[in-house]
Structure 1
């Protein structure tokens, strides 16, 4: 069986794919950045090219 090494960021508005080993883990979910993991409290996006998430 293949091993999954990547998945979509758990932030609903984010389009990033994150390496599970490098993900920011919060509440058992994998995020691409601390901004996504904390729900964008200051309105900032994740900062990755091509992604416009901001909570």
Structure 2
């Protein structure tokens, strides 16, 4: 059996790969930041270098 420790952020346009242990979890999904987890309601991106979500 394989254990998943990292994955792509659940925010569709986001390019970030995240460690599950460091992720923001919301509704059973994993996100790289609060901005992504909240659907970018404040019109900001995730803030990670190289990502334009």
TM-score (norm. length: structure 2): 0.95
Scaled by the length of structure 1, what TM-score is found?
0.92
Superposed, 1:1-55 pairs within 5 Å as: 1-53=1-53
Unmatched tracts of structure 2, length 5 or more: none
Unaligned runs of 5+ in 1: none
Stretches (4+) displaced over 4 A: none
CA RMSD of aligned residues (A): 0.6
